[in-house]
Amino acid sequence: MTEIRRATPEEWEEIWPIFQAVVASGDTYAYPPDIGKEEAFTAWFNPISTVFAVYLDGAIVGTYILRPNMPGQGSHVANASFMVNPDQQGRGLGRAMCTHSLAEAKKAGYKAMQFNLVVSTNKAALGLWEKLGFSVVGVLPKAFKHQRLGLVDALIMHQFLD
């Protein structure tokens, strides 16, 4: 049985191996692939983010954060980041988390959601975000240093929540 709910900092022990495995491949996130546990904790459980996790039979198999994309006059736009345990990818967990995040963002009063750095070669993410209503609104040329492919474009994706 899967369930998505808020995660606590105490659950970092369970979330960290997922974060580490996702980031280590250097092909989806702009965190250093060899980031340490403490630095990663600060990045995920930071004061402006709400952390959620998806649980499969009680065990954490994925996580996402929801936060304002910008402070002040840009804070009506939400931003979110998603990570699914590599062993569990492709089973609908990312779709479930993103759908959940859109509902949470609406509930929190955000007017839109924006992703700032979707790696153009990340076809699973790009395809999923498009299916869930996001459009590419900008291309950042060679903005991502892909561990295997070198410099590749990154995409800004957006959708209104009304």
Ligand X SMILES: CC(C)(COP(=O)(O)OP(=O)(O)OC[C@H]1O[C@@H](n2cnc3c(N)ncnc32)[C@H](O)[C@@H]1OP(=O)(O)O)[C@@H](O)C(=O)NCCC(=O)NCCS
| Site of interaction with ligand X (CB under 6 A) | 22, 28, 82-84, 89-95, 115, 118, 122-125, 127-128, 131
H-type helices in the chain, by residue range? 12-24, 37-44, 93-107, 123-131
What's the closest the beta carbon of residue 31 comes to ligand X, in angstroms? 11
CB of 135 to ligand X, least distance (A): 14
Query: Would you say 155 or 161 has its CB closer to ligand X?
Result: 155
- Contact between residue 6 and residue 60 where contact means Cβ atoms under 8 Å apart: no
Of residues 44 and 115, the one with the C-beta less far from ligand X: 115
10 Å CB burial of residue 46 (0-12, 13-18, 19+) is exposed
Complex with ligand X: residue 72 or 148, whichever CB lies closer? 148
- What does the alpha-carbon distance between residue 25 and residue 7 come to, in Å, rounded to a whole number? 24
Q: How far is the CB of 74 from ligand X (least distance, A)?
A: 20
